């Protein structure tokens, strides 16, 4: 049962009987910060008192009178100015847990009474280039949300909106036509395509940097230098206040200038990488128009050019296979992987329909939707006739609505695309798409230890596959050292490998999920693999530790569950553990409410700590009598099962020993 939701609903009824509009205050029922105020606390009497012009304590008294919670709580207590403190009944807690013992499937998790249909759009990498660290967040957050929504009883359709139709294909087509090594392409297609992609991208960037970016910044520097010279005069002004202001502006401008120069330096060193390599330099000289040529190859593909289409047909499977490999390792699956290419036939229709309805119009040759509150229009067709990312997204929504009739479409995509989604959603509303909730679940950047976006030493994106390998390797070292430090090591070498896989991959996923998704976070193997703190390793270790009790006590856990052993809650730390266990449902509900899996990691971490104090205070195997021993073993079992399920909902596997 979701206790919090239940209490809120009971409060809702009581509140409405006091004042018809008061129901909204039910959200002010919250878990107590401190056990001495009970398990839950309601602060609604204060604002309500103010509204009705009555003393809050009186309101609290009336509320408590109307409140029907006798089945689950002790008599509510009114404290201080009008706080209502609620303490769950021991018998009720016991009943809940006892039911959970016998319900391995649902494990006490409340199923929603209002199932919704969600389309979840996550991972969605652009293929033809290898997956990199930037893809981890969308993949892991999306997968966790998918699992949790399903656990709560919603219908979820997961769809990997793969970027399989963009410029990156123009790059590999151009690369294939000019630079391919035929012997390699047959042998390891993906490796050769990656090489081609990187080479072409590097050459395009080279010319773009040399011909566009550097001159633009050089111009900015010249202008800024001139402005700064003028500003120097202003710092000689008579009036002190004016002089101070001028000095401040000057400092700002100088800061800006320093920033521009740093950018310029890094651009120049990028160019130097090519210039200093005779082979690359020769290629760059021989392919001056490469930027435009790549766009032309892309355009040819889009307009049905036979050769390019054949190359695409030939290369796409290999690209998909390489991302599949990453998903297999991560244990991530999708119901559909309808890439951008899937929507090609719909794009012209989208533009036509929006134009016909007067929603899109031509501007500088391009077809645009102009939106209130947005300076820039949403461009759906370029001057040269090409369709855009935006057009595909419009067609995709159209398809999803027809095909799956979702109540909600969720896009798990990084925050840099916020504007795109704002414009997409606004355009959809204009287009008459009304009944579906549209959510951009955005997230921050993965940073390196230097606080800048995580890159390899050479400045390129960190490949995802290598990242996973490294985490597993490091986990293996930790697990092995830990096991070797035992008097008699526990784990066989296969077991060590399996544990290392789960701990290593778990570490990466958990570190990502435990951060508030909207913040950036620093990627640190040391932190994420730490045995202490809010990490996967700690949670997996907690799980294994609880399970080890059953081994040590030679307890048949299946038999224990099936027995009629009962739970008793006499010690405060037993009771605290019971309360924590009943909150699982609540935590999952919170995740779904704002699409933040970190509510679940926080819950699990709290559960593990509560379990630790229980374990310190309450002997389990050496309990005073066998009844108490069974009761405590049941609490251990529920804890282990809750941790395992919680981690599973985050896409993380547990290990029996580590």
Contacts to ligand ARG by CB under 6 A:
121, 124-126, 161, 163, 393, 396, 411, 413
Residue closer to ligand ARG (CB basis): 261 or 429: 429
Q: Are 424 and 393 in contact (CB under 8 A)?
A: yes
Give whichever of 29 and 350 is closer to ligand ARG, judged by the CB atom: 350
Asked if 256 and 224 touch (Cβ cutoff 8 Å), the reply is yes
**123/631 with CB nearer ligand ARG:** 123
For residue 341, give the nearest of 320, 326, 359 by alpha carbon: 320
Render 378-436 in DSSP notation, one character per residue.
EEEE-TTS-B-HHHHHHHHHHHHHHHH--SEEEEE--GGGHHHHHHHHHHHHHTT--SS
Q: How far is the CB of 169 from ligand ARG (least distance, A)?
A: 13
Q: Which residue, 109 or 316, is less far from ligand ARG as judged by CB?
A: 316
CB of 655 closer than 8 Å to CB of 499: yes
Which C-beta is closer to ligand ARG: that of 302 or that of 641? 302
Tokens for 10, please give them.
């009971």
Burial of 31 from C-beta contacts in 10 A (0-12 / 13-18 / 19+) = middle
Count Cβ neighbours within 10 Å for each residue of 573-582 and write b for 16 or more, e otherwise: bbbbbbbbbb
Work out the widest C-alpha separation in the chain, in whole angstroms: 92
Nearer to ligand ARG, 49 or 125 (CB): 125
Q: Which is nearer to ligand ARG, 391 or 396 (CB)?
A: 396
We find the least distance from the C-beta atom of residue 327 to ligand ARG, in angstroms, to be: 15
Q: How far is the CB of 469 from ligand ARG (least distance, A)?
A: 23
* Closest-CA residue to 154 (of 469, 520, 591): 591
Ordered DSSP codes for 181-207: -HHHHHH-HHHHHHHHHHHHHHHHHHH
CB of residue 417 to ligand ARG, shortest distance in Å: 7
Least distance from C-beta 124 to ligand ARG, angstroms?
4
DSSP at 491: -
- Enter the DSSP assignment of 109: P
At 463 the three-state DSSP class reads strand
Q: Work out whether the CA dihedral 261, 266, 270, 275 comes out positive or negative.
A: positive
Cβ atoms within 10 Å, residue 255? 10
Q: How far is the CB of 607 from ligand ARG (least distance, A)?
A: 34
Nearest to ligand ARG of 161, 596 (CB atom): 161
Structure tokens at 71: 């089945």
Least CB distance to ligand ARG at residue 194 (A): 16
Please identify, using beta-carbon distances, which residue of 38 and 339 lies nearer to ligand ARG: 339
Shortest Å distance, C-beta 122 to ligand ARG: 8
Task: Output the six-digit token pair for 364.
Answer: 């500088």
Smaller CB distance to ligand ARG: residue 163 or 175?
163
Q: How far is the CB of 197 from ligand ARG (least distance, A)?
A: 14
Rounded to a whole number, what is the distance in angstroms from the first to the last CA of the chain?
A: 33
Q: Minimal distance in Å, beta carbon 397 to ligand ARG?
A: 9
Considering the complex, state which of residue 425 and residue 541 has its C-beta at the smaller distance from ligand ARG. Answer: 425
Nearer residue to ligand ARG within complex by CB, 244 or 416: 416
Closest C-alpha to 155, from 403, 404, 440: 404
CA atoms within 13 A on the CB side of 129: 26
Q: How far is the CB of 337 from ligand ARG (least distance, A)?
A: 12
Tell which phi-psi region holds residue 82, choosing left (phi > 0), alpha (psi between -120 and 50) or beta.
left
Our CB check for ligand ARG shows the closer of 96 and 126 to be 126
Cα separation, 282 vs 271, in Å, equals 13
Tokens 């390891």 correspond to 188
In angstroms, what is the minimal distance from the CB of 158 to ligand ARG? 12
Q: Is 474 left (phi over 0), alpha (psi -120 to 50) or beta?
A: alpha
Q: Which is nearer to ligand ARG, 138 or 582 (CB)?
A: 138
CB crowding 268-299: b at 16 or more within 10 Å, else e:
eebbeebeeeeebeebbeebeebbebbbbbbb
Shortest Å distance, C-beta 443 to ligand ARG:
12
Q: C-alpha 598: how far from its chain's center?
A: 9
Q: Kindly tell me which of 163 and 651 has the beta carbon lying closer to ligand ARG.
A: 163
- Minimum distance, C-beta of residue 226 to ligand ARG, in the bound complex (Å): 39
The two beta strands, 83-86 and 40-42, are: antiparallel
**What is the closest distance, in whole angstroms, from the C-beta atom of residue 455 to ligand ARG in the complex?**
17
């Amino acid at each position: 049962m979701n206790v919090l939701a239940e209490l809120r609903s009971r409060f809702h009824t009581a509140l409405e009987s006091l004042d018809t509009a008061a129901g909204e205050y039910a959200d002010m029922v919250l878990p107590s910060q401190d056990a001495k105020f009970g398990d839950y606390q309601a602060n609604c009497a204060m604002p309500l008192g103010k509204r009705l012009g009555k003393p809050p304590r009186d309101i609290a008294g009336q509320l408590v009178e109307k409140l029907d919670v006798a089945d689950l709580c002790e008599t509510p207590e009114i404290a201080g100015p009008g706080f209502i403190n609620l303490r769950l009944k021991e018998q009720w807690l016991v009943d809940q847990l006892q039911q959970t013992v016998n319900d391995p499937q649902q494990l006490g998790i409340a199923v929603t009474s209002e199932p919704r249909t969600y389309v979840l759009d996550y991972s969605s990498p652009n293929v033809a280039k290898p997956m990199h660290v930037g893809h981890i967040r969308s993949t892991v957050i999306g997968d966790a949300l998918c699992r949790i929504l399903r656990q709560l009883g919603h219908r979820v359709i997961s769809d990997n909106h793969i970027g399989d139709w963009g410029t990156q294909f123009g790059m590999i087509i151009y690369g294939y036509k000019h630079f391919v090594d035929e012997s390699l392409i047959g042998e390891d297609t993906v490796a050769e395509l990656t090489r081609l992609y990187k080479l072409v991208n590097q050459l395009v960037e080279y010319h773009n940097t040399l011909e566009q970016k550097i001159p633009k910044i050089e111009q900015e520097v010249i202008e800024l230098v001139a402005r700064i010279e003028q500003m120097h005069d202003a710092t000689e002004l008579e009036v002190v206040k004016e002089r101070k202001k001028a000095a401040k502006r000057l400092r700002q401008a100088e800061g800006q200038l320093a920033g521009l120069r740093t950018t310029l330096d890094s651009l120049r060193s990028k160019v130097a990488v090519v210039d200093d390599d005779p082979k690359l330099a020769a290629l760059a000289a021989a392919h001056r128009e490469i930027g435009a040529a790549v766009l032309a190859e892309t355009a040819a593909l889009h307009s049905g050019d036979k050769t390019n289409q054949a190359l695409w047909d030939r290369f796409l499977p290999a690209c998909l296979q390489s991302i599949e490999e990453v998903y297999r390792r991560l244990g991530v699956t999708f119901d559909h992987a309808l890439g951008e290419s899937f929507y090609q036939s719909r794009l012209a229709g989208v533009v036509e329909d929006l134009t016909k309805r007067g929603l899109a119009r031509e501007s500088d040759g391009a077809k645009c939707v102009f939106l209130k509150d947005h300076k820039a229009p949403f461009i759906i067709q370029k001057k040269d006739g090409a369709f855009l990312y935006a057009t595909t997204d419009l067609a995709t929504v159209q398809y999803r609505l027809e095909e799956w009739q979702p109540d909600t479409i969720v896009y798990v995509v990084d925050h840099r695309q916020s504007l795109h989604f704002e414009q997409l959603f606004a355009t959809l509303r204009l287009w008459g798409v009304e009944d579906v909730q549209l959510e951009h679940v955005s997230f921050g950047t993965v940073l390196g230890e230097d606080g800048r976006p995580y890159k390899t030493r050479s400045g390129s994106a960190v490949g995802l596959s290598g990242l996973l390998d490294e985490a597993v390797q490091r986990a293996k070292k930790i697990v092995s050292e830990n096991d070797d430090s035992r008097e008699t090591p526990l784990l066989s070498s296969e077991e060590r490998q399996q544990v290392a896989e789960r701990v290593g991959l778990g570490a990466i996923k958990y570190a990502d999920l435990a951060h508030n998704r909207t913040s950036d976070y620093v990627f640190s193997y040391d932190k994420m693999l730490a045995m202490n703190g809010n990490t996967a390793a700690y949670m997996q270790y907690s799980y294994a530790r609880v399970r080890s009790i059953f081994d040590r006590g030679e307890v048949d856990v299946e038999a224990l569950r099936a027995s009629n052993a009962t739970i008793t809650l006499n010690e405060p730390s037993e009771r605290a553990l019971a309360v924590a266990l009943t909150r699982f449902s609540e935590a999952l509900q919170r995740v779904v409410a704002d699409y933040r899996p970190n509510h679940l990691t926080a819950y699990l971490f709290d559960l593990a700590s509560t379990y630790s104090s229980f374990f310190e205070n309450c002997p389990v195997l050496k309990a005073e009598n066998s009844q108490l021993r069974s009761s405590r073993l049941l609490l251990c079992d529920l804890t282990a099962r809750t941790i395992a399920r919680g981690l599973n909902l985050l896409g993380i596997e547990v290990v029996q020993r580590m």
